[in-house]
Amino acid sequence: EVQLVESGGGLVQPGGSLRLSCAASGFTFGNYAMSWVRQAPGQGLEWVSAISGSGGYTYYSDSVKGRFTISRDSSKDTLYLQMNSLRAEDTALYYCGKDPHYDSSGYYGVIDYWGQGTLVTVSS
Amino acid sequence: EIVMTQSPATLSVSPGERATLSCRASQSVSSNLAWYQQKPGQAPRLLIYGASTRATGIPARFSGSGSGAEFTLTISSLQSEDFAVYYCQQYNNWPPVTFGQGTKVEIK
């Protein structure tokens, strides 16, 4: 059974940093691209970032480019999102998600499994 | 960036009735369109990808159609567990992958 468990969220001041983690199990982690998608309170879904299965390719939305860094550790089956220079508008529930295509170098763009999310609140 | 527009924002439907949700892209996304369902307090769930292919375990009452820039999600006979928010998502031109703003299906 595929499981994704996010952690690392919390309350941080504007300008601060957080590192989110997503522990994966139930599939061969290194063969699938992974994504982060966020949802501000009461709002819709916003794609944030993605990384290929090998980790060699990374992608970002314009709203986080230069501030967030996605990475993965296949020895730990864990996905990360390093978030720096946080702003109030980054406040959201952050979900990690698994891509359905078996391809260590590609990114399909669909999410077939989602974690339950970790809440990031940026406020002074 | 491709903008996805869903209509209506809210759809009031009685149990057992058909629900038809629309999604329009600002430019062609071919058939690279997915639909997700989200219930309160839960993560989204993949329903449809490739515009019309049901994801694993999704009941046959959910169907997707369309290509290019116009898409439809149809729920043939609404069950109580289907009342939720539905999002479309394009993955043809990225980054970024983009979502619609959602359609809430509520009990009439």
* Average pLDDT score over residue span B76-103: 96
Over residues B37-82, the pLDDT tens digits come to 999 999 999 999 999 999 999 999 999 999 999 999 999 999 999 9
Chain A residue whose CA is closest to B34: A110
Q: Among A45, A110, A113, whose Cβ lies nearest the Cβ of B91?
A: A110
Three-state SS at B88 = strand
Residue of A nearest to B44 (CA): A114
Contact (CB<8Å) A109/B96: no
Residues (pLDDT < 50) of chain A are none
Q: What count of CB pairs under 8 Å joins A to B? A: 61
Letter string b/e over residues B66-78, b meaning 16 or more CB atoms within 10 A of that residue's CB: beebebbbebeeb
pLDDT of residue A105: 81
How far off is chain B from A73, nearest CA to CA, in Å? 23
Residue B83's nearest CA partner among B105, B61, B108, B59 is B105
